[in-house]
Amino acid sequence: MSDATLKAMAERFLSALQHCQLLQMRVAQANADGITLVLPWSPAIVGNPQTGAVHGGALTTLMDTTCGMATLCVLPRFEVCPTLDLRIDYMHPAEAGKAIYGHAQCYRVTRDVIFTRGTAYQDDPAQPICQVVGTFMRLGQQIKGGIRFGNSLKEGGA
């Protein structure tokens, strides 16, 4: 799959998640090595109005989604991959007023389960806000509507 095709599929996938749309999340980059999403700064992600500190839930959603979508980078075709487990460790707080990037890649792919890891950062990927490890179940294309949902994604249907 070309990087452009992969990025287009990732954008269609993300656009179907209302929850992520509210947060204005976008795909920044996607290729065989991994995926990067952006969470722009907005009132919707502020957890503490006095300080502008980000609500943990917004960051968690960013990283859950980023790790889950990293599975697109290693699968030949779209498959539904629900989260099996997710661990987030915050290294330092996000700075108010700046977009947050989430990057993730797959480090192990089995017939049923995909293992991913990633980080969130603002200016410098080497100074991560958090590091994340997540595991996702491959349901296959034929299971539970996988193929049809997959097709609609590839063909640009909602």
Q: Which residues bind a copy of itself (CB under 8 A)?
A: 16-20, 22-23, 43-45, 47-51, 53, 55-61, 64-65, 68, 80, 82-91, 93, 107-108, 110-113, 115, 117, 131, 133, 135, 137, 144-145, 148-149, 158
Least Cβ distance, residue 102 to a copy of itself (angstroms): 12
Integer Cα distance of 10 and 30 in angstroms: 8
User: At closest approach, how far in Å is the CB of 2 from a copy of itself?
Assistant: 25
76 and 146 in contact (C-beta within 8 Å)?
A: no
Q: Which is nearer to a copy of itself, 3 or 61 (CB)?
A: 61
In angstroms, give the least distance from the CB of 11 to a copy of itself: 16
CB of 44 to a copy of itself, least distance (A): 5
> Hey, what are 58's tokens?
């917004």
Residue 49 or 76: the one with the smaller Cβ distance to a copy of itself is: 49
- The residue (of 3 and 40) whose beta carbon lies closer to a copy of itself is 40
Between 6 and 25, name the residue whose CB sits nearer to a copy of itself: 25
Can you tell me the distance from the alpha carbon of 103 to that of 36, in angstroms, rounded to the nearest whole number?
Answer: 4
Identify which of residues 31 and 90 has a Cβ nearer to a copy of itself in the complex.
90
